[in-house]
Amino acid sequence: MHNETILDIRSIPPAQRHPLIFDLFNGLAAGESFVLVNDHNPKPLFYQFQAELTGQFSWQYLEEGPAAWRVRIGRV
C-alpha cells in the first residue's frame, strides 16, 4: 500500500482549489486515492465530480466538521 497523498486546501485561494483537485485526481491510477482536507463540506466538488466523472470516482467521508472535513477521493 502506497502512502496516501493528503491535499489540504484550507490555505489555497478558493479559485485555485478545484483545478488543483482535478489535476491530482487525473494523475491517479485505478484503485488509487487521496484525502482532501477542507474547511467546509465539499458538496459542490462532489456534484462537479458526479457531473464530469460519473462512475469513475469514489467518495468517502472520513471526518465531517465542524473545523475540518476529510474526504477520501479515489479513481475506480
pTM of the model: 0.93
Predicted local confidence at residue 2, as pLDDT: 58
Predicted local confidence at residue 28, as pLDDT: 97
Peptide bond into 44 cis (omega under 30): no
Q: Dump pLDDT digits (tens) for 41-61.
A: 999 999 999 999 999 999 999
Predicted local confidence at residue 3, as pLDDT: 77
The grid coordinates of residue 53 equal 466523472
Output the CA torsion sign for 29, 35, 37, 43: positive
Mean pLDDT of 15-29: 97
Helices (H) and strands (E) in the chain, counts: 2, 4
